[in-house]
Homo-oligomer: A and B are copies of this chain.
């Protein structure tokens, strides 16, 4: 008996996203989920790749759809090791795993000590439409969803589907981000992976005939990190965002009187924001606040918000670790010329994540990828793949110095600055 007629969303990545249960449909229509339409998936990447304007809403649907397809394959093949009764829990966790994200999460969270994982929990368990829908369906459901997203769910295979080295989350975002940026680094053979994925001993494993597809997926991830996610123009946008929040927070703490603060933003400053306010915190609100801040009486806040709105970003030069000892010199140089180094200078070193990109992470949650061979044994993939063993464990770090080059040039001190560090290694865009 089907009370609910299958519905679809047209999607550029998966062609269609199929909704077969009323609870899924209702969750998508909950206001907390609709809010994800107003938060871009890739934060400041659109400043580099103008196509990257897609939202967390579309990504969340994509994660749901991949999870749905994996489970459909398990069911079609009647694998005993897949706990059939977990289907809905897995689908809902997939759908809601990003529900707690703030706009420009990376920048905002660092300044305000707010964690999207905590907010995900609060939204699922708190006084929200989503909680109501889940509770009405089954009183235990909200807590089970939170457990899956927290990776503490007892049936660990459900966790694996949503967050592991080869999960629905990553598979969707690689394909989606590649599509919207227009690059083709992120392309891999999803349909093949969906065919060779297996439940095995409480884990998700890959039939060994699919090894090359997994290699291709891992290489895509590696390329996407360095070419898209760590792109210096994108990082420059993030740095400016962070500086804006820092400056505003500092002013707030100093008692500066803003002309108008949106309630969620004021509460953030007070470190006292609740679920209701958090839910109305979206990118438009941040932008609108920036419009107002660009007319405040603080020259740094005004300058930084205009930079962000009009994309007058910081430039950068590549440095290496040997340059670190010069930082104090540079700061002094900036201060000496009335350029505040706290707001106009930043060393950026994206390095923590790439290690994570090729599957050898000591953190417990990053379990390795296992291949299932014809003898029904599992083997960690790097023991079989030359490509993966070749890149595994190679930590790559790039150091860049970001700064307001326009200021230095206006003040005619850029050449002097370049005597301190080698400016030949920059790159403009």
Spell out A's residues near B (CB within 8 Å): 6-13, 15-16, 29, 31, 34, 37-38, 46, 49-51, 53-55, 57-58, 61, 77, 179-185, 187-189, 191, 195, 209, 212, 215-216, 219, 222-223, 226-227, 260, 262, 280, 282-289, 291, 306, 309-312, 374-375, 386-387, 389-391, 394, 396, 424-425, 427, 429
Contacts and interface: CB of A to CB of B under 8 A. Distances in A.
Contacts of A288: 262, 284-285, 287-289
A419 B31 CA distance: 33
B57 A54 contact: no
| Copies of this chain, count | 4
A216 B223 contact: yes
Contacts of A311: 29, 34, 37
Contacts of A260: 260
A34 B262 CA distance: 24
A291 B309 contact: no
19 contacts: A6-B77, A7-B429, A9-B50, A10-B49, A10-B51, A11-B182, A12-B181, A29-B312, A34-B311, A38-B287, A184-B187, A212-B223, A215-B223, A219-B219, A260-B260, A280-B291, A285-B287, A288-B288, A390-B394
A350 to B, nearest CB: 14
Contacts of A10: 49, 51, 181-183
Contacts of A429: 7
B55 A54 contact: no
B15 A182 contact: yes
A181 B427 CA distance: 34
A13 B49 CA distance: 12
Contacts of A51: 10-12, 54, 58, 180
B34 A310 contact: yes
Nearest to A374: B424
Given A185-B212, A310-B34, A387 B427 contact: no
Given A29-B311, A189-B183, A61 B54 contact: no
A184 B179 contact: no
Contacts of A390: 387, 389-391, 394
B291 A287 contact: no
Contacts of A58: 50-51, 53
A177 to B, nearest CB: 11
A166 B360 CA distance: 31
Nearest to A53: B53
A58 B9 CA distance: 24
Contacts of A226: 212
Among A216, A260, A286, A312, chain B packs the most CB atoms within 10 A around the CB of A216
Among A8, A226, A282, A386, chain B packs the most CB atoms within 10 A around the CB of A386
B15 A191 contact: yes
Nearest to A429: B7
A291 B277 CA distance: 11
A375 B318 CA distance: 13
Given A12-B51, A53-B53, 19 more contacts: A7-B429, A11-B51, A11-B182, A15-B191, A31-B306, A50-B58, A51-B58, A183-B189, A184-B188, A184-B189, A185-B189, A187-B187, A260-B260, A280-B291, A284-B286, A375-B424, A387-B390, A387-B391, A390-B391
B50 A61 contact: yes
A50 B11 contact: yes
A195 B8 contact: yes
Contact of A291 (B37, B212, B262): B262
Contacts of A179: 12
Among A179, A184, A223, chain B packs the most CB atoms within 10 A around the CB of A184
Contacts of A286: 284
Contact of A227 (B8, B11, B212): B212
Contact of A222 (B309, B374, B387, B394): B387
A260 B50 CA distance: 32
A346 B178 CA distance: 40
